[in-house]
Amino acid sequence: MNRRQLMLRAMALGLIPSLTGCDYEDPQHPDLADKFLHAMSAWNDRVQAALFDPHTLAPTFRPDQITRPPRFNAFYDISQAPVVDETTYKLELGGQITDKTPWSLTQLRALPQQEQITRLVCVEGWRVIGQWGGVRLSDFLHRVGADTKCRYVSFQCADGYYSSIDMESALHPQTILALTFLGAPLTPAFGAPVRLRIPTKLGFKNPKNLVQLAVTNIYPGGYWEDQGYNWFSGS
């Protein structure tokens, strides 16, 4: 098999996200190759969504397995991480939600909290095990009166990053609005004041430094998703 065939086969198996364009574009039929890869990725999303079992838990780990120090990743250097004023912070709500009153950090901390020691897998090929604590997203969505029949939950970040997930994954018991790492409040680089922690999906589906959460039926895409990374990117 040549590189292109290998790539397409691996994509069909969901082994790699489909990156459109680049060096495996057919120079004779660039549009066709592009359309085909997009169709493959959309099909890949549907297959992954169909295979997703809302009751299967992502693996959890022992405290001694936690990666120290943790590993930072963003589309910029760690020194550029956005610093959000926690005293005036409000998580904004949008879309199909009954009570869109923004939430302060104090209010989020007053909700029941959950801890998890799980693995974060980056599409770049590295993984870390960490301990995150926070509010179960399904509890939060029910609390604010989100229409959980909608297809998507979208997230906007203080650094301009954005992402979105399917509602089934949003309601998964291990999907949390994380407020802590190793029992302490999140630091700016690792997502302060609030990040999404979703161990059933790849790292880039874990937006940090959240400023807004919305519930919608209109496909919201994401920072890497809009550049060709597979949208579902989960198990």
Ligand X SMILES: Nc1nc2c(c(=O)[nH]1)N[C@H]1C(S)=C(S)[C@@H](COP(=O)(O)O)O[C@H]1N2
Which residues have CB under 8 Å from 134's CB, separation 6+? 108, 113, 114, 176, 177, 178, 179, 180, 194, 197
Task: Give the separation between CA 198 and CA 169, rounded to whole angstroms.
Answer: 8
**58-77 footprint of Mo ion as x/- string (CB under 5 A):** ---------------x----
122 binds ligand X (CB under 6 A): yes
Interface of this chain with ligand X, residues 135 to 174, rule: CB under 6 A:
157, 159, 161
201 binds ligand X (CB under 6 A): no
Give the tokens for residue 149.
Answer: 């029949």
Q: Residue 103: beta bridge partners?
A: 91
- Tell me whether residue 183 is exposed, middle or buried, using C-beta atoms within 10 angstroms of its C-beta: 0 to 12, 13 to 18, 19 or more: exposed
Stretch binding ligand X (CB under 6 A), from 3-11, 135-143, 146-154, 201-209: 201-209
Residue 208 C-beta: closest distance to Mo ion, Å: 11
Contact with Mo ion (CB under 5 A): which of 95, 203, 207, 220?
A: 203
Interface of this chain with ligand X, residues 59 to 88, rule: CB under 6 A:
71-75
CB-nearest residue to ligand X: 203
16-51 burial code (b ≥16 CB/10 A, e <16): ebbbbeeebbeeeeeeebeeebeebbeebbeebeee
Q: Residue 201: beta bridge partners?
A: 234
Interaction partner, residue 74 (ligand X, Mo ion, none; CB < 5-8 Å by kind): ligand X
Q: Closest by alpha carbon to 91, among 116, 111, 70?
A: 111
Stretch binding ligand X (CB under 6 A), from 84-92, 138-146, 169-177, 203-211: 203-211
203 binds ligand X (CB under 6 A): yes
Half-sphere exposure of 6 (CA within 13 A, CB side): 3
229 binds ligand X (CB under 6 A): no
- Helix or strand holding residue 212 (H, E): strand 210-216
Stretch binding ligand X (CB under 6 A), from 5-13, 145-153, 205-213, 225-233: 205-213
Return the number of the residue (135 or 196) whose C-beta is nearest ligand X: 196
> Which chain residues interact with ligand X by CB under 6 A?
71-75, 120, 122, 157, 159, 161, 190, 203-204, 206-209
